[in-house]
Amino acid sequence: MGNEKVDVLVVGAGASGAAFAWSLAQSGIDVMCLEQGKWLNPLSDYSTFGKDWEIHRQTDFNPNPNLRANESDYPVNDSNTPIKPLMYNAVGGSTIHWSAHFPRMKPSDFRVKTLDGVADDWPISYQELEPYFDQNDKIMGVAGLAGDPGYPEKSPRQTPPVGLGKLGMKISSGFDKLGWHWWPSDSAINTVDYDGRSGCNNCGPCDLGCPIRAKASTDVTYWPKAVAMGVQLITNARVREITIDEKGNADGVIYYDSTGVAKEQKASVVVMACNGIGTPRILLNSKSAKFPNGLANSSGLVGKNFMFHPYASVFGTFDEDLEGHKGPTPLNIMCSEFYETDLSRGFVRGYSYQVTRSKSPLATALGPEIPWGVDHHEEFHKIFNRTVRFAVIAEDLPELHNEVVLDPELTDSDGIPAPKVNYTLSENSRKMLDHGIETSKQVMKAAGAIEVNSDPLIQEAGWHLMGTTKMGTDPETSVVDQYCRSHDVKNLFVVDGSVFVTSGGVNPTSTIQAIALYAADYVKTNRKNILN
């Protein structure tokens, strides 16, 4: 086991790798997945129910791998980016750590060149992905409410929406007074029992892992199903490079096991699912005489066009207890009022709001609004549970100078070159965030906030890693085709956020998984040609 050649080798067991492996297993294809992290036990490995849970958020469960520095992590040189990349390595990947905010990208996101003359259109459409959105929703389990005018009609949601609570009712009144769009956004959180998993108990810190499995991390949704169908999932396996045969086709990978021993795994097809930083890192490290600049990189675009979602935050303080600690971390009210382009605003494309709960006790106490000293407790009680937070999510546009490269000096514990992120916030994104801050203040004040503060750019907010192996039909201007298949290496696929052409103005995981399922269907339909 682990050395015999397999049909399909998936690298990465997160959101996209899990969906892709599950889909192929349904057709009886021999699939193996290598994951550099481990299986986590929700009952023993999460600190969610511990008294010291907020300490873990800043230490061993910090979303920043440089601060967390677990054995399964690799360092990222983030010295040349104002936004710090965040990720998690384990079976389930960053869905272990996420807050399960689960909106789809909108139809317009796939046509930005046609609509607004910027970036490029995607080679696939919302309508083509729609059945895969629906399929993914059924496996993940989505809490939501039908009828959002910001989207085409969706299939029925699996469970009712996350409750608004006192805080949600308060802030929605502000939207209503202004006549602006808002809706209970989709959440990959069971609000009632679904598919053998419990309903949410409203304990709060979803980002620390869900001990009761109400949150839809892929270790409790896709992976049990995939393993039951015969997928081999090898943990503590850190991939160094993809190997090629004499014809220039991918024929497997070299990886390090948990003891640091280098092993080789052969496969007919290799599939990358390591996120927008991890995937280009391995491709760029897979150099050979035939591919001296890295595998699948004849376009020179591997690692280029890197996109975050830049976030600003706005905090409104109210003169009443809003019970802001109750419920999942993301309240998941979503506003799309400023999502589409209006050039009178001074920028192209748009943004959305995500409304979240009040700060936790420790985060409130350490916040800049509360002074240390004799008045600390009095000021704390004026703010705790009385704040509403908006995350302003800007659509980042692709730019060649924003990139992931191999660091010439920094390595991980196995000596594999670490990635370095070179990223500059664009003027367009800055204007978008500034506009979002001002409109957020209007909502807060309309809802009755007595004080409003903002953070113009959240540094520890690089959750969404996109764009570094761009999808397209032209091999000179893209890395993979519309089916996520490499233009250069016909048995190499990429199915994570790397393939994004543009970033949209919403969280990407739902769209990432739909694309993975779409690509898997292509492999299944063409298995005779692809697997031989």
Q: Which two tokens mark 512?
A: 């990432």
pLDDT for 478 beyond 50: yes
Q: Which residues are CB-neighbours of 179 under 8 A, at least 6 positions away? A: none
Give the total number of structural domains in the chain: 1
Q: Could you list the residue range(s) of the whole structural domain that residue 52 is in?
A: 6-530
CATH at residue 501: 3.50.50.60
Residue whose token pair is 């015969």: 230
Using pLDDT thresholds of 50, 70 and 90, give the confidence band for residue 324.
confident
Whether the predicted pLDDT of 102 surpasses 60: yes
Mean pLDDT of 136-152: 96
Q: What is the pLDDT at residue 366?
A: 85
Q: Is residue 520 part of a domain?
A: yes
Least confident piece of the model among 43-47, 82-86, 197-201: 43-47
* Residue 10 resides in a domain: yes
Q: Is the model's pLDDT at 251 over the cut of 60?
A: yes
C-alpha–C-alpha distance, residues 473 and 442, integer Å: 43
Tens digits of residue pLDDT in 329-340: 777 799 999 999
Q: Beta partners for 404?
A: 421
CA proximity to 149, closest of 181, 109, 188, 185: 181
pLDDT at 41 (0 to 100) = 93
Whether 2 has a pLDDT exceeding 50, the answer reads no
Helix (H) or strand (E) holding 492: strand 492-494
- C-alpha span between 285 and 308 (Å, rounded): 23
Structural domain contains residue 391: yes
> Phi and psi (nearest 5°) for 511?
-70, -40
The model's pLDDT over 414-451, given as tens digits with 9 standing for 90+, comes to 999 999 999 999 999 999 999 999 999 999 999 999 99
At residue 382 the predicted structure's pLDDT band, cuts being 50, 70 and 90, is confident
Asked if residue 388 is part of any domain, the answer here is yes
Residue 1 within any structural domain of the chain: no
pLDDT, tens digit, 9 for 90 and up, residues 489-508 = 999 999 999 999 999 999 99
Distance, in Å, from the CA atom of 143 to the CA atom of 166, rounded to the nearest integer, reads: 19
Describe the chain by its helix, strand, coil percentages, rounded to 5. 25, 20, 50
User: Are 144 and 186 a contacting pair, CB within 8 Å?
Assistant: yes
> Encoding tokens for residue 361?
């006790």
User: Which one-letter amino acid corresponds to residue 221?
Assistant: T
284 vs 294: CA distance, rounded Å: 4
Query: Assign residue 12 a region: left if phi > 0, alpha if psi is -120 to 50, beta otherwise?
Result: left
- The mean pLDDT of 372-399, rounded to a whole number, is 92
Could you read off the pLDDT of 182-215 as tens digits, one per residue? 999 999 999 999 999 999 999 888 999 999 999 9
Pairwise CA distance, residues 493 & 10, whole Å: 9
Q: Confirm whether 393 is domain-assigned.
A: yes
